[in-house]
Amino acid sequence: MKFEKTEVFNFEGALRGMRNPMNSWDKSDSKDEYEEHAGYVVEKFVIGKNDMELAQRLIKAGEPHRKFLRQIFVSVDITAPIYWWKEFDTYKVGTVANSTSTMHKLASTPITIDCFEMDDFQDFYDLKNMYTSELMAFWAELITRLENLRKKYNETKDKRYWKELIRLLPESFLQTRTITMNYENILNMVKYRENHKLTEWSISFMEWVKSLPYANEFIFINNK
């Protein structure tokens, strides 16, 4: 599972709007800071003490009061197995996605073990029992059969081969989607998935979330 090309934006706009209900813009103390890295000037938005205290009070007050989180936007390319995407799709409100297409492009490239989610397959090696070798043999046969169907379809253009390829494709098949969502979406995902038995949620997703700007202060605030 991979998270690539992450972009986070509109902190300034979100915090400015956060102060609209009380007309307290004069108390805002966040600002842009500039740092030089390798000859380039990098702009960084730094949240001040006053804005941070108000933001955290609103977050703790509950969803109706933390509307500013919906205006902190995140764009990211996520490569994940189909079984993970099925659970992610329960969070459709406020999220937008463009995905790679198995319908159009599945037959265009070879099917190999790298096409599937195998991040924690090493756990089976650690068991050192017969089940490990049985699983390895099963995967080898499955991938061979899927690749043969793909080749047959490309040779004959007979859609029956393509239909069987789609029908037999495991849910561990990796798909990439470009996702746009906001900090409110992510806060809810953390709330309900942080201790999920799928390591794609409890480890991979959580590690990515922790890498986001102000994740501890805004998203994991209730864990403190």
Q: Where does the chain show beta strands of DSSP type E?
A: 2-9, 31-37, 40-46, 73-81, 96-99, 174-182
Sign of the Cα torsion 175, 180, 184, 186 reads positive
Q: Which of 61, 14, 108 is nearest to 222 (CA)?
A: 61
Q: Are 51 and 15 in contact, with CB atoms under 8 Å apart?
A: yes
The CATH fold assigned to 2-99+174-223 is Gyrase A; domain 2 (3.30.1360)
What confidence category does residue 122 fall into, taking pLDDT thresholds of 50, 70 and 90?
Answer: low
* More confident site: 121 or 12: 12
What confidence category does residue 121 fall into, taking pLDDT thresholds of 50, 70 and 90?
Answer: confident
Q: Structural domain boundaries of the chain?
A: 2-99+174-223, 104-168
Residue 63 has pLDDT above 80, yes or no: yes
Residue 94 has pLDDT above 90, yes or no: no
What confidence category does residue 127 fall into, taking pLDDT thresholds of 50, 70 and 90?
Answer: low
Give the C-alpha separation, 210 to 196, whole Å.
16
What confidence category does residue 50 fall into, taking pLDDT thresholds of 50, 70 and 90?
Answer: very high
Q: Tell me how crowded residue 20 is: count the other CB atoms within 10 A of its CB.
A: 10
Give the per-residue pLDDT at 102. Answer: 76
Token pair in block for residue 169 = 């494709």
For 38-47, 72-81, 87-96, 125-134, which range has the lowest pLDDT when averaged over its residues?
Answer: 125-134
* More confident site: 101 or 103: 101
* Eight-state DSSP code of residue 173: B
Per residue in 141-173, pLDDT (tens digit) is 999 999 999 999 999 999 999 999 999 999 999
> How much is the mean pLDDT over the chain?
91
Give the per-residue pLDDT at 104. Answer: 67
Per residue in 4-27, pLDDT (tens digit) is 999 999 999 999 999 999 999 999
Give the per-residue pLDDT at 120. Answer: 79
**Percent of the chain beyond pLDDT 70?**
93
Number of residues that make up the chain: 224
pTM: 0.90
Give the per-residue pLDDT at 129. Answer: 56
Residue 186 has pLDDT above 80, yes or no: yes
